Amino acid sequence: MPEEMAGNIAQQKASLLSQATQSLRDFRYSQHHHTAGTFPVAQMTQTGPRRIQNSGMEDESREQSQSSSTGMRLIVPLQGIVQGRGGLILGSVIPCAMFYFLQFYLKRRRSPPNLPHEQTSNPPSPSHSSSNLTELSRSASRSSLLLSRGSIGRPHVSSRVHSIAKSNDSPYNIGLDKVSADPYDRLNNPNGVIQLGLAENRLTLDLIENWITEKLNESILSGIATYQPFDGMTELKVAMAGLMSQVVGRTVTFDPSQIVLTSGATPAIEILCFALADPGNAFLIPAPYYPGFDRDMKWRTGVELIPVHCRSSDNFTLSIPVLDQAFNQARKRGQKIKGILLSNPSNPVGNLMTRETLFSLLDFAREKNIHIISDELFAASTFGDEEFVSMAEIIDSEDTDKDRVHIVYGLSKDLSLPGFRVGVIYSYNENVLTVSRKMTRFSPVSAPTQRLVTSMLSDTTFIKNYTEINRERLRNMYDLFVDGLKDLGIRCTKSSGGLYCWCDMSGLIRPYNEKGELDLWDKLLNVANINITPGSSCHCIEPGWFRCCFTTLDETDIPVVIERIRLVVETCKSPS
């Protein structure tokens, strides 16, 4: 399963972390303590064989061969076989055969006679590591093994359970957890952890609050308690089309009948993956990319992600030749590419795609006959001098072949309403729309929220005002934050959108690799109490880059943040 790839990366990170940071003990979800109960060695060996198919991809893209276990070294040579290159057969078959026999032997010894042999079955072990679930007395159930007829051990759960348990080891999630446990508050908890790892925008919420107080007076319940169309009420689709049009500067008119509403952009992306790709198919995705995509796109769909690496020398913009190369390499490996996923404005870098690049991408997609998903979640959160160009604008000027373009949007970033769960699939493909509509039954928008949001979006004067002020405040915070970092000698790429900046701390890491980057991340989190997102979580190929979200802060918080970073920077610069 492709989830294993993310799990594998996460596992390697976990082992790197454990070498560097004993202080992470409290928050580390080590292999030995995750909630599935304990199965130390078993975990590696049980999932080992499944990793074969992905290790090849992973090796090529990560360009690093640090493997922390014998298991990996045995598996990696198999890559050659899987990819049909042969050549390493003898050298790899024998150790692998021995490896498999060892695993088989261990499993037979370990599992009780009446459990079916599954790759992913849980060995019979006490469950129960969540300390807050103490109400139910479990001791009785354990001691009653004699009473229950012949069933020992816990019932099987799907492989999806294990893959997600592992991915919670990632720094991205660890950092978020740490903030939840000890959040900074200027007055009440000035030493708490400052959140710069969540792309949440608090800068302009006051305007929305005012709108609610003044304008929201309709009765929430009239006519909306009953079953509504799962893909959203028409009024909201109309209002959303209006919003999207306004956000792109009225260069495009969006058609409400091409809108499918979902409970957030997260399910919107997943639904598109279900609709466009079969398990095992792949999407090309410019890297660095939003860490959540690993889960959102791959977990339940079985789809794979192939990063297309962007580099600082290009200011992390996407290069079509590099994209082409990634496509060809994938094809050689026998992978079927179904589409490209773009984020525009990009996350974590904050670049806007130029009109030229968008046209080139469309040509590329046509040539290869694949889809384009354009995630435009931050479309109104732009603050630079460049204008935002939506894929819709590009496709609008074409007469044919629109069937391959799908846009994802939502209110979580531009309107700061992540809690309300409002996302959009906008597609030019009737078949995709039909399927998506059916799938929204699993991820619909709550009716009272639809009512409230329709009201708000229909107030176009308010929305226009809000968007303008939001942009100003974003720009202001961006400038202040980037200047603050500049004083510390930390450069950022020139961003034009998003709620964050992309910072180059490569000069501060030692050694110049992922381990060094994670060391710095750890120091910033546990010593400076700042949660930022390391580039490796975003699959950035160059070590030392970090994403810092500045929209959860007040202007007055910035000096605090800079000061804390300074302390760590000093320790990095001092001779070791």
Partner 1 sequence: MAIEIVQPSVGLSKIAVSETHGEDSPYFAGWKAYDENPYHEIHNPSGVIQMGLAENQVSFDLLEEYLEANLESANWGQKVSGFRENALFQDYHGILSFRKAMASFMEQVRGGKAKFNPDRVVLTAGATAANELLTFILADPGDALLVPTPYYPGFDRDLRWRTGVQIVPIHCDSLNGFQITPEALEAAYDHATSMNIKVRGVLITNPSNPLGANIQRKVLEQILEFAIQKNIHLVSDEIYSGSAFYADEFVSIAEVLESRNYQDSERCHIVYSLSKDLGLPGFRVGTVYSYNDQVVTTARRMSSFTLISSQTQFLLASMLSDKEFTQKYIKINRERLKKRYEMIINGLKKAGIECLKGKAGLFCWMNLSPYLEEPTIKSELAIWKTIMHEVRLNISPGSSCHCFEPGWFRVCFANMSEETLEVALSRIHEFIKERKQGL
Footprint (CB under 8 A) of partner 1, residues 498-557? none
SS3 410: strand
- Structure token pair of residue 317: 């913009």
Measured from the CB of residue 341, what is the shortest distance to partner 1 in angstroms? 15
- The answer to whether the beta carbons of residues 36 and 165 sit under 8 Å apart is yes
Q: Name which position in 26, 63, 135, 385 contacts partner 1 (CB under 8 A).
A: 135
Which residue's entry shows tokens 């050689």? 332
| Contacts to partner 1 from residues 445-464, by CB under 8 A | 445-449, 452
- The answer to whether the beta carbons of residues 389 and 355 sit under 8 Å apart is yes
Measured from the CB of residue 466, what is the shortest distance to partner 1 in angstroms? 13
Reference 451, options 250, 226, 202; nearest CA is: 226
Q: Name which position in 84, 86, 113, 155 contacts partner 1 (CB under 8 A).
A: 155
- Structure token pair of residue 25: 């003990």
| Contacts to partner 1 from residues 361-390, by CB under 8 A | 369-371
The answer to the question of residue 141 lying near partner 1 (CB under 8 A) is yes
- Closest to partner 1 by CB, 520 vs 549, is 549
The answer to the question of residue 277 lying near partner 1 (CB under 8 A) is yes
Q: Name which position in 35, 257, 325, 328 contacts partner 1 (CB under 8 A).
A: 35
Measured from the CB of residue 28, what is the shortest distance to partner 1 in angstroms? 16
The answer to the question of residue 431 lying near partner 1 (CB under 8 A) is yes
The C-alpha atoms of residue 6 and residue 12 are separated, in whole angstroms, by 10
The answer to the question of residue 28 lying near partner 1 (CB under 8 A) is no
The answer to the question of residue 136 lying near partner 1 (CB under 8 A) is yes
Applying CB under 8 A, the site for partner 1 has a residue count of 102
Which residue's entry shows tokens 């996302």? 423
The C-alpha atoms of residue 362 and residue 401 are separated, in whole angstroms, by 10
- Closest to partner 1 by CB, 158 vs 253, is 158
- The answer to whether the beta carbons of residues 285 and 308 sit under 8 Å apart is yes
User: Of the ranges 7-15, 226-234, 248-256, 516-524, which one interacts with partner 1 (CB under 8 A)?
Assistant: 226-234
Q: Name which position in 70, 434, 460, 465 contacts partner 1 (CB under 8 A).
A: 434
Buried b (16+ CB within 10 A) or exposed e, 505-518: bbebbeeeebbbbb
Site mask, partner 1, residues 320-359, x = CB under 8 A? ------------------x---------------------
Measured from the CB of residue 479, what is the shortest distance to partner 1 in angstroms? 24
User: Of the ranges 127-135, 309-317, 470-478, 490-498, which one interacts with partner 1 (CB under 8 A)?
Assistant: 127-135
- The answer to whether the beta carbons of residues 167 and 153 sit under 8 Å apart is no
Alpha helices in 398-446 (DSSP H): 430-439
Site mask, partner 1, residues 174-213, x = CB under 8 A? ------x-------------------x-x--x--xx--xx
Measured from the CB of residue 446, what is the shortest distance to partner 1 in angstroms? 4
| Contacts to partner 1 from residues 390-409, by CB under 8 A | 401, 403-404
The C-alpha atoms of residue 70 and residue 48 are separated, in whole angstroms, by 11
Q: Name which position in 418, 498, 534, 543 contacts partner 1 (CB under 8 A).
A: 418
| Contacts to partner 1 from residues 86-125, by CB under 8 A | 114-116, 120, 122
Chain-centroid distance, C-alpha 299: 11
Reference 56, options 82, 35, 18; nearest CA is: 82
Q: Name which position in 8, 11, 204, 263 contacts partner 1 (CB under 8 A).
A: 263
Q: Name which position in 65, 132, 188, 313 contacts partner 1 (CB under 8 A).
A: 132
The answer to the question of residue 228 lying near partner 1 (CB under 8 A) is yes
φ, ψ at 371 (rounded to 5°): -90, 160
- The answer to whether the beta carbons of residues 166 and 33 sit under 8 Å apart is no
Reference 339, options 311, 297, 378; nearest CA is: 297
Reference 561, options 532, 520, 518, 530; nearest CA is: 530
The answer to the question of residue 150 lying near partner 1 (CB under 8 A) is yes
- Structure token pair of residue 353: 């795609």
The C-alpha atoms of residue 81 and residue 322 are separated, in whole angstroms, by 26
User: Of the ranges 2-10, 236-244, 258-266, 389-397, which one interacts with partner 1 (CB under 8 A)?
Assistant: 258-266
Q: Name which position in 306, 417, 485, 490 contacts partner 1 (CB under 8 A).
A: 417
- Closest to partner 1 by CB, 124 vs 242, is 124
The C-alpha atoms of residue 281 and residue 305 are separated, in whole angstroms, by 9
244, with CB counted inside 10 A (0-12, 13-18, 19+), is buried
Q: Name which position in 67, 68, 129, 513 contacts partner 1 (CB under 8 A).
A: 129
User: Of the ranges 98-106, 155-163, 482-490, 534-542, which one interacts with partner 1 (CB under 8 A)?
Assistant: 155-163
| DSSP one-letter string for 52-94 | HHHHHHHHHHH------SHHHHHHTTHHHHHTT--SSHHHHHH
- Structure token pair of residue 389: 């160009």
User: Of the ranges 217-225, 454-462, 477-485, 564-572, which one interacts with partner 1 (CB under 8 A)?
Assistant: 217-225
